[in-house]
Amino acid sequence: MRNEEKYVSGRIVLPGEKLCVVEEFTPGEGTYENNGEVFSKIAGRVLYDFVAKKVVVIPLKKTKQPPKPNTVVYAVVTSVKEDTAFLKIFADDKKRLYTGPFTGVLHVSQVSTNFVKTIGDAVKVGDVVKAKVLTNNSPFQLTTKGARLGVVYAQCSRCGAVLIKKNTKLICPKCGNVEQRKVSIEYMFK
């Protein structure tokens, strides 16, 4: 496969999505490099410059409309209590960014169809979560029940490295720490 076929400009990407390796393209605006790989820093459209060998991500337009029930959204966990997590909703599954500070609430009973003792067993502060909106008003009630819903990006709670998914566990490639989350089958790093 030629690079032109592998790297399509204009494709919509989310924060943390792998774009290429530094040997192919150098990181530009809206991107960052980690261990020789280039990732998107923001939600936007990726542009590959085959002449300058550079990759950039242009921010998407934002929507002022709040999420509606049954909309699948992406959110960052901002705080965790014993049975509830609070999240900042930043985009929907069509990768439209939200302008307003929309808050989501994930109760432990809405994490999984399996028993989860505390919300801290499912999500941690800083995790990016794919969830479904259940209510009309803020704070929006969220659920992660379903294989495609759950944590899609997480960092090691010990050293901060991006966790890699191995079966149902998340493993740190730097320090070897093993962590448990309610992980989506769409987790970004496998």
DSSP calls for 147-170: TT-EEEE-B-TTT-PBPEEETTEE
Contact 46, 57 (CB under 8 A): yes
Structure-token pair, residue 24: 């192919």
Task: Report domain extents, the chain.
Answer: 3-59, 61-190
User: Which pLDDT belongs to residue 174?
Assistant: 93
User: Which pLDDT belongs to residue 6?
Assistant: 58
Q: Which CATH architecture has domain 3-59?
A: Beta Barrel (2.40)
Tell me the longest C-alpha to C-alpha distance in the chain: 53
* Angle at the Cα of 46 from the Cα atoms of 43 and 50, rounded to 5 degrees: 160
pTM: 0.74
Superfamily of domain 61-190: Nucleic acid-binding proteins (2.40.50.140)
User: Which pLDDT belongs to residue 20?
Assistant: 93
Residue 188: name the closest of 86, 76, 39, 73 by CA.
39
pLDDT by position in tens, the chain (length 190): 334 445 667 788 888 889 999 999 999 999 999 999 999 988 888 999 888 899 999 887 777 889 999 999 999 999 999 899 999 998 898 878 888 779 999 999 999 999 999 999 999 999 999 999 999 998 999 999 999 999 999 999 999 888 999 988 999 999 999 999 999 999 988 8
User: Which pLDDT belongs to residue 185?
Assistant: 94
Matching fold, domains 3-59 and 61-190: yes
